[in-house]
């Protein structure tokens, strides 16, 4: 019995140490964001601010912060809606119908999950320039949707295959069209998988960096991760302002996480489990 | 008969409509770029001028003797081993402890997940300042502990920078693998523990005889994820060091980016990208067959 108690103490010590490692960077970020430049340079960097100031936050909000936020919301929400529509349509075809190319096309798309995005970067940059979408939020939507499709189609097809056939057979006898079958029967029944796919792609694209870096250039056209990058380049020496920017940029995800912790974690893992 | 045929035709038309958007987008943004990348690798091109200069296999020959590329490739390999050796044991240990604690440890879980909510860019920028040798968090803690002599230019010293960056990437990914293993542990049937309890198993025996063997398939999957992820890694390294100082933290992806989008050598950049494609696809296929054979 003593042995168990002894180990339990070690559990807590270990977990407490890991809590420090995992979360102290966030405290540093938060504390620093309320400090003045002079307090940061004179005091201990890890200390609680003595005279908290919100000046750093107003510096950030007076800049382009809301523009970056708006661009992120536009790029991510349009992409996620398109991903859900297009991948569920394809998944419906793959999971419910027998046709000559079914297996071949499906395998090809699944193989797309393993493609390193960097091989597509230069050609997509060239293409985006050619079709005159360079440096617009819409330049991001094409690659965001296309590169998310293999994983999304895979998750949805596997889910739809588990839905019993009886339901649609009854509907077919009643003369239900293919489109009604998709929109009125398969889509509602796939809601849990659609939510997972939506969260997985939403969180991934919200933080996407390399395409936004290559396909946009002006501050008014960039998304939040690039906003951090630009702000850091401009205010490199004003560490408290940068920390305020980081704190604000974490807020949307933090709020989403507080409201849907389990769903978000499940969504984030969706891409990995079968990877 | 006639009716059947036209119904069949209608169905095929419907299927084509349902598949078309996905196939067109994948064609434009995945398949065509892969072909294009290999094609561009045969040219010298700045990405802007209408004229491309055909070089044949010159870029590929240059790549074979490009010491920076092979140094970057070596860093990718080092990165694979370091991340697996550091991330997996810590993630497994925490997952096991959290699993044994059950619901009582839920608060710990939430605290541990926080790094997953931050974008790589945000993490990179944050740690640039945490590592700052003058007013960063680490130098502050070291001076509080009177260990100033340990303070370094964490990202500026070529001998240290690679490890500094890898440490941050591990910090970023441990929560991910931790959740991965927690999910796997929750699938272990409770009866196994009870049977072991009756046999008088100790805590360590639980771990070595039950938890670890049953986690093995998940550990393999996690290692493959880490292997592929490490081969194509870009974000954090680019944000924190841009591959420097003097290529100390260069990876294949940062080297490709710098060639294509900083030096405007789109042809050579495409050669590096195509080489990455070949390396990663080969590694993926290899990993897939190695794990599959063992499962059978």
Cβ neighbours of residue A60 closer than 8 Å, sequence gap 6 or more: A231, A241, A244, A245, A248
- A chain contacts of residue B115, beta-carbon cutoff 8 Å: 22, 25
Cβ neighbours of residue B36 closer than 8 Å, sequence gap 6 or more: A122, A123, A126, B270
Q: Is B44 helix (H, G, I), strand (E, B) or coil?
A: strand
- Residue A5: pLDDT above 70? no
- A chain contacts of residue B23, beta-carbon cutoff 8 Å: 90, 105
CA separation for the pair A89, B14 (Å, rounded): 11
Q: What is the mean pLDDT of residues B245-260?
A: 95
Chain A residues 65-104 with CB within 8 Å of chain B: 85-87, 89-90, 92-93, 97, 99
Model pLDDT, residue A164: 86
DSSP notation for A26-80: HHHHHHHHTS-HHHHHHS-TTSPPSS---HHHHHHHHTTHHHHHHHHHHHHHHHH
Query: Cβ–Cβ of A29/B202 closer than 8 Å?
Result: no
Residue in B30, B119, B273 closest to A225 by CB: B119
Dihedral of CA A57/A63/A68/A73: which sign? positive
Instruction: Read off the tokens for A123.
Output: 């050609």
- A chain contacts of residue B125, beta-carbon cutoff 8 Å: 228-229, 232, 242, 246
Burial class, A34, CB count within 10 angstroms (exposed 0-12 / middle 13-18 / buried 19+): buried
Query: Cβ–Cβ of A228/B257 closer than 8 Å?
Result: no
Model pLDDT, residue B4: 75
- Residue B7: pLDDT above 90? no
Cβ neighbours of residue A149 closer than 8 Å, sequence gap 6 or more: A83, A86, A87, A90, A109, A112, B22, B25, B26
pLDDT level of residue B194 (50, 70, 90 thresholds)? confident
Instruction: Read off the tokens for B129.
Output: 């300042």
Model pLDDT, residue B291: 74
Nearest CA in chain B to A99: B12
According to DSSP H, which parts of chain A are helical?
2-33, 37-42, 55-62, 65-96, 102-111, 118-130, 138-161, 166-173, 178-180, 187-189, 191-206, 210-215, 224-234, 239-259, 261-273
Instruction: Read off the tokens for A91.
Output: 């998944």
The minimum CA-CA distance between B283 and chain A, rounded to whole Å, is: 10
Q: State how far the alpha carbon of A6 is from the alpha carbons of A9, A11, A12, B101, B206, in Å.
A: 5, 9, 10, 14, 16
Residue in B115, B144, B281 closest to A22 by CB: B115
Instruction: Read off the tokens for A46.
Output: 């890890």
ipTM computed for the complex: 0.91
Q: Which pTM does this prediction carry?
A: 0.91
Nearest CA in chain B to A256: B117
Model pLDDT, residue A263: 87
- Give the lowest-confidence range in A55-59, B9-13, B220-224: B9-13
DSSP state of A275: -
Residue in A105, A119, A207 closest to B33 by CB: A119
The minimum CA-CA distance between B159 and chain A, rounded to whole Å, is: 24
Chain B residues 203-242 with CB within 8 Å of chain A: 203, 221, 224-225, 228, 231-232, 234-235, 239
Residue-wise pLDDT for A120-177, tens only, equals: 999 999 999 999 999 999 999 999 999 999 999 999 999 999 988 777 777 777 777 8
Instruction: Read off the tokens for A14.
Output: 């270990």
- A chain contacts of residue B241, beta-carbon cutoff 8 Å: none
User: Among residues B274, B200, B281, which one has the least CA distance to residue B38?
Assistant: B274
* Beta-carbon pairs below 8 A across chains A and B: 243
Residue-wise pLDDT for B19-31, tens only, equals: 999 999 999 999 9
Task: Check if A178 contacts B (Cβ < 8 Å).
Answer: yes
Chain B residues 160-189 with CB within 8 Å of chain A: 171, 175-176, 179-180, 183
Model pLDDT, residue A275: 36
**H or E stretch covering B167:** helix B158-185
Q: How many CB atoms lie within 10 A of CB A16?
A: 10
- B chain contacts of residue A89, beta-carbon cutoff 8 Å: 18-19, 21-22
Q: Assign 3-class secondary structure to A237-253.
A: CCHHHHHHHHHHHHHHH
User: Among residues A204, A187, A211, A197, which one has the least CA distance to residue A120?
Assistant: A211
User: Among residues A215, A216, A244, which one has the least CA distance to residue A231?
Assistant: A244
Query: Cβ–Cβ of A149/B22 closer than 8 Å?
Result: yes
Residue with the two structure tokens 């070596």: B74
Query: Cβ–Cβ of A272/B203 closer than 8 Å?
Result: no
- Residue A71: pLDDT above 50? yes
Residue-wise pLDDT for B121-177, tens only, equals: 999 999 999 999 888 899 888 988 888 888 889 999 999 999 999 999 999 999 999
């Amino acid at each position: 019995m003593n042995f168990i108690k002894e180990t339990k103490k070690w559990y807590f010590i270990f977990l407490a140490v890991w809590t420090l490692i995992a979360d102290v960077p966030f405290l540093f970020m938060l504390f620093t964001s309320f400090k003045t430049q002079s307090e940061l340079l004179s005091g201990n960097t890890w200390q609680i601010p003595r005279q908290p100031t919100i000046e750093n936050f107003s510096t950030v909000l007076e800049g382009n912060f809301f523009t970056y936020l708006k661009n992120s919301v536009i790029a991510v929400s349009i992409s996620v809606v398109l991903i859900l529509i297009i991948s569920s349509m394809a998944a419906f075809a793959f999971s419910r119908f027998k046709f000559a190319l079914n297996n071949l096309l499906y395998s090809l798309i699944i193989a797309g999950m393993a493609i390193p995005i960097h091989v597509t970067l230069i050609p997509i940059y060239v293409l985006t320039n050619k079709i005159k979408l360079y440096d617009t939020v819409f330049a991001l939507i094409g690659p965001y949707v296309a590169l998310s499709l293999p994983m999304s189609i895979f998750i949805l097809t596997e889910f739809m295959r588990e839905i019993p056939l009886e339901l649609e057979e009854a509907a077919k006898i009643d003369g239900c069209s293919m489109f009604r079958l998709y929109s009125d029967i398969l889509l509602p029944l796939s809601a849990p998988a659609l939510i997972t796919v939506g969260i997985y792609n939403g969180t991934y694209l919200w933080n996407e960096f390399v395409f936004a870096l290559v396909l946009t250039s002006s501050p008014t056209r960039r998304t939040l991760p690039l906003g951090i990058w630009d702000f850091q380049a401009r205010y490199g020496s004003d560490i408290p302002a940068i920390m305020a920017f980081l704190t604000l940029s974490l807020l949307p995800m933090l709020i989403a996480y507080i409201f849907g912790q389990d769903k978000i974690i499940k969504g984030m893992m969706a891409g990995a489990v079968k990877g | 008969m006639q009716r059947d045929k036209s119904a069949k035709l209608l169905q095929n038309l419907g299927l084509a409509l349902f598949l078309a958007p996905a196939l067109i987008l994948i064609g434009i943004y995945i398949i065509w770029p892969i072909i294009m990348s290999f094609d561009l690798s045969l040219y010298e091109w700045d990405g802007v001028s209408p004229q491309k200069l055909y070089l044949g296999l010159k870029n590929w020959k240059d790549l074979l003797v490009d010491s920076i590329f092979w140094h970057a490739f070596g860093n990718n390999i080092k990165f694979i081993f370091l991340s697996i050796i550091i991330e997996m044991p810590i993630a497994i240990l925490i997952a096991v402890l959290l699993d044994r604690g059950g619901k009582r440890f839920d608060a710990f879980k939430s605290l541990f997940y926080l790094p997953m909510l931050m974008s790589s860019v945000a993490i990179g920028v944050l740690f640039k300042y945490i590592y700052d040798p003058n007013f960063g968090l680490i130098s502050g803690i070291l001076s509080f502990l009177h260990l100033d002599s340990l303070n370094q230019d964490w990202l500026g010293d070529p001998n240290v920078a690679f490890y500094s960056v890898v440490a941050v990437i591990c910090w970023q990914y441990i929560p991910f693998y931790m959740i991965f293993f927690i999910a796997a542990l929750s699938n272990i049937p409770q009866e196994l523990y009870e049977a072991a309890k009756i046999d008088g198993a100790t805590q360590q025996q639980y771990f070595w005889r039950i938890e670890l063997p049953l986690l093995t398939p998940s550990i393999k999957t996690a290692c493959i994820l880490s292997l592929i992820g490490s081969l194509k890694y870009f974000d954090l390294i680019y944000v924190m060091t841009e591959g420097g100082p003097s290529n100390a933290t260069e990876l294949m992806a940062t080297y490709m980016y710098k060639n294509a989008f900083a030096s405007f050598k789109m042809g050579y950049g495409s050669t590096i990208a195509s080489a990455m494609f070949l390396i990663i696809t080969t590694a993926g296929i290899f990993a897939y067959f190695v794990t599959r054979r063992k499962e059978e």
